[in-house]
Each structure stands twice: as structure tokens, then as C-alpha cells.
Amino acid sequence: MNDYNSVDEDDELLTAYLDGELNDQERRAVQHRLADDAKLRQRLAELQRAWDLLDELPDTPVNQEFTKSTLELVVQRVEKDVKQVSVTRDGIRLGWLRGMPLIVVLCGAGLFAGVAGGSVWRWNNNRSKLPTWMSSQTSRD
């Protein structure tokens, strides 16, 4: 019964009728035949009933273990991410502390340079105010 020609025309017609795939004229013709033919009505009912039984197919239940392991993986991943963020923050904090001595040294050097520069400027400024003979004496020294 696997020959294409062996497909029963009435089965095909009834299937198309049940699937709403007939045009108005074809549908009316089938309805007329159904009204007159009890066997055809029986055939239609059986095809429809078998089709309706498909509604009893349960939704595929999700395996409990699968759900559990998936949730555990998610939790593990979240915990890992949280730890990474924490470590990164600590790293930034420690890095800043590690840079402290350098900052202190740079600040000290800047302060020293400022004080020294100011002293030289004051010295030069004051020297220009000295009497000429004293200024020349100073420059000779």
C-alpha cells in the first residue's frame, strides 16, 4: 500500500475537508455527500477522532535533574562573576595603595623644587636691589 495511486481519494478529500483546505464548492460537495452517506460520516468521525487524540499528547516534561543542574550552573557562574568583581575592586584598591610611596616622593620632590626655586628667585631679586659695588662684589664671589 505504499503506491502513490493507492491513496484513497475520499480519505484525501475528508482530510482536506477537516483541515479546512477545500474551497467553498468542494466543501459544499463534501457536505452533501456526508449528509447522504453514513459510512462516509463514520470515516470522517474516525479520522477526526484520531486527530483529536493528538491533543492528549503531554507537553514534554522538563527533567528535574536537568533543571537542578542548570540552576546550579547558573548559581556557580553568578558566584564566580561576583568573586571576580570583588577581586578586581580589591586589586584597584591595593594598586592605589602600592602607588602611595611614589606619590609621596613626587609630592616631596615637587615641594623641594618649589622651595628651592623660590629661594633662587628671591636671591636673584634681592641681589638686584643691592648697591652696585656690593652687587659686583657678590658676582665676583
Partner 1 sequence: MVKQAVQALAERQRIALTLSKFEGLSYQEIADTMGMSVKAVKSLLSRARVNLKLLLQPYMDIGAPPTAVELDDDEAEQGESE
CA separation for the pair 15, 18 (Å, rounded): 5
The answer to the question of residue 6 lying near partner 1 (CB under 8 A) is yes
Task: Retrieve residue 114's grid coordinates.
Answer: 618649589
Residue placing its CB nearer to partner 1 in the complex, 19 or 141: 19
Total count of residues recorded for the chain: 141
Contacts (Cβ under 8 Å, ≥6 apart) of 47: 11, 14, 15, 18
Exactly one of 54, 97, 100, 102 binds partner 1 (CB under 8 A); that residue is 54
DSSP string over 79-127: HHHHHHHHHHHHHHHHHHHHTHHHHHHHHHHHHHHHHHHHHHHHHHHHH
Exactly one of 26, 46, 72, 79 binds partner 1 (CB under 8 A); that residue is 46
The answer to the question of residue 3 lying near partner 1 (CB under 8 A) is yes
The answer to the question of residue 1 lying near partner 1 (CB under 8 A) is yes
Residue placing its CB nearer to partner 1 in the complex, 54 or 100: 54
Restricted to residues 96-125, the positions that interact with partner 1 (CB under 8 A) are: none
The residues of the shown chain that bind partner 1, judged by CB under 8 A, are 1-8, 11-12, 15-16, 18-19, 21, 46-47, 49-51, 53-54, 56-57
